[in-house]
A and B are shown apart, each in its own frame.
Chain A
Amino acid sequence: DAMVIQNPRYQVTQFGKPVTLSCSQTLNHNVMYWYQQKSSQAPKLLFHYYDKDFNNEADTPDNFQSRRPNTSFCFLDIRSPGLGDAAMYLCATSREGTGTDEQYFGPGTRLTVT
C-alpha cells in the first residue's frame, strides 16, 4: 500500500545532542512537509519541499534544518535540541498540479529531550 513512513516512531535525545528524523513516501508526491505538534495545539508548519525547492517558514528556528535527497525521502535535523523541542514531529505529503492536493500524514515521531 502507498504510504508515508516515519522513523523512528519514538526518539529520546539529550539536551544539545543532534538528532535526525526521517520520512519516506511511496505515493510519488512532489511536496513533502514537516510539522511540529505539541500537546493540544495545532500542527505547526516548519518547512516544506516542492520538488527540490525548499520553503522555510519565517518563524522556524535555525536549529531546525531539512534535507530532501530524492523524491521519496526527507529528513528533519535538529542541531541542538532544547527541552522546548519535545513534541510530535509529523511528515506529510501532497501532489500539487493535478487538481487534487490533499495532504497525507505519516504516523509521526514522538521526540523526548532529556
Chain B
Amino acid sequence: QKEVEQNSGPLSVPEGAIASLNCTYSDRGSQSFFWYRQYSGKSPELIMFIYSNGDKEDGRFTAQLNKASQYVSLLIRDSQPSDSATYLCAVKGGYQKVTFGTGTKLQVIP
C-alpha cells in the first residue's frame, strides 16, 4: 500500500472553474501536510501547508484536512492556464521524514 496516494490524472478543467485535487495517506500519526506545484523540469514550489483539521484559505487556494478520514485536498478557484502543472501532496511523519505522492497533473483549458 502506497503511503501517500493521488490520482495521477490528467485532470482537465476549463479556465475559471474550480479544480479539486485529492490525496489520501496511510500514517495516522502524520501531523503536517503540504501541497506543492511542480512545472515540468522545475523543482517543487510550496503553495499550501495545513496542520489542523478543517479548511485553510490563501488567495485562490484552499487546503482541506480530515485526519479521521486520512484525507487532504486542494481546491483551486478561478483556475488559470498558468495553474497547469503537476500538484504534489506531501505528508510529514516522524523523524522529519516527508513522503510525497506521485502527483496529479492538472490541465486548465483556455
Contact = CB atoms under 8 A, between A and B. Distances in A.
Nearest to B97: A45
Contact of A103 (B4, B46, B102, B103): B46
B100 interface: yes
A101 B95 CA distance: 12
Given A101-B32, A102-B34, A94 B101 contact: no
Interface string A24-52: 00000001010000001111010010100
Contacts, number: 52
Interface in B35-58: 36, 41-46, 49
Nearest to A94: B96
Interface residues of B, number: 23
Nearest to A103: B98
Interface in B1-57: 4, 32, 34, 36, 41-46, 49
A75 interface: no
* Main DSSP-derived SS at the B contact region: strand
Interface residues of A, number: 24
A42 B91 CA distance: 12
Interface stretch (A13-21, A59-67, A78-86, A104-112): A104-112
A33 B98 CA distance: 10
Contacts of A101: 32, 92, 96
Interface of B: 4, 32, 34, 36, 41-46, 49, 88, 90, 92, 95-103
10 interchain residue pairs of minimum CB distance: A42-B100, A108-B43, A105-B43, A42-B102, A102-B49, A43-B100, A105-B44, A107-B43, A31-B96, A90-B43
